[in-house]
A and B are shown apart, each in its own frame.
Chain A
Amino acid sequence: SVLTQPPSVSGAPGQSVAISCTGSSSNIGAGYDVHWYQQLPGRAPKLLIYSNNNRPSGVPDRFSGSKSGTSASLAITGLQAEDEGDYYCQSFDSNLSGSKVFGGGTKLAVL
């Protein structure tokens, strides 16, 4: 994938985790926004964070996003069992005409 995410992260209920998304000078480093999606088992993806650090209505403030240089990060605090699923970052890449690009996804396990 053009955007690199760790394959998996884990944490105990109540703990915090962070998921990184590493890009390059043609995507995140070029200033393009990063968006994050949550995909629970058997469900369609859901927008979690848009434009780097904004939460859509209804998304708990346990979820937050940040961006710096060629990377972005999704932080989840107060882990809950229902947070278990896959998380994807997404941006735009200027080397690929009109292309949105996704990270490979990170599986979050709540132990």
Chain B
Amino acid sequence: QEQLVESGGGLVKPGGSLRLTCAASGFTFSGYYMSWIRQTPGKGLEWLSYISDSGATTYYADSVKGRFTISRDNAKNSLYMQMNGLRVEDTALYYCAREPPYHGGLDFWGQGTLVTVSA
């Protein structure tokens, strides 16, 4: 069945780095756009970044632009988020989600990986 499994979260000090991975299975990964979204505990959803099916096009929210980098490896069915210069306010549950090319909705989400930024 279709799966998106995030990993790579953990506890990191302010200014530190983490690399999140989203492993896809059960569908043709290369046929979908992908996004990262985060959710602060008890709060709402914040879209962070988008990558096209080929990886040629990327977009970022202002809150992470210049600090986070999205990438993908279609041969490995994997999506990545390199997070540098982490701040306390980046503490959140990070989800990956897929987007069919025929509409802008996010039709399948992983279960998330928790990132905690604390001294």
Contacts and interface: CB of A to CB of B under 8 A. Distances in A.
Interface residues of B, number: 24
A44 B104 contact: no
A92 B59 contact: no
Given A97-B59, A98-B50, A100-B50, A90 B106 contact: yes
B59 A44 contact: no
Interface residues of A, number: 27
A46 B47 contact: no
Which of A45, A54, A88, A105 counts the most B-chain CB atoms under 10 A from its CB? Answer: A45
A103 B47 CA distance: 11
A25 B81 CA distance: 31
Interface stretch (B15-23, B71-79, B107-115): B107-115
Interface in A30-50: 32-33, 35, 37, 44-47, 50
Contacts of A101: 47
Interface in A45-86: 45-47, 50-51, 54, 56
Nearest to A45: B109
A105 B44 contact: yes
Interface in B88-119: 95, 97, 103-112
A96 B107 CA distance: 22
B62 A46 contact: no
A99 B59 contact: yes
A37 B104 CA distance: 13
A102 B59 contact: no
Nearest to A92: B104
Interface of A: 1, 32-33, 35, 37, 44-47, 50-51, 54, 56, 88, 90-92, 96-105
Interface of B: 35, 37, 44-47, 50, 58-62, 95, 97, 103-112
10 contacts: A44-B112, A45-B95, A46-B109, A51-B103, A91-B104, A98-B60, A100-B47, A102-B47, A104-B44, A105-B45
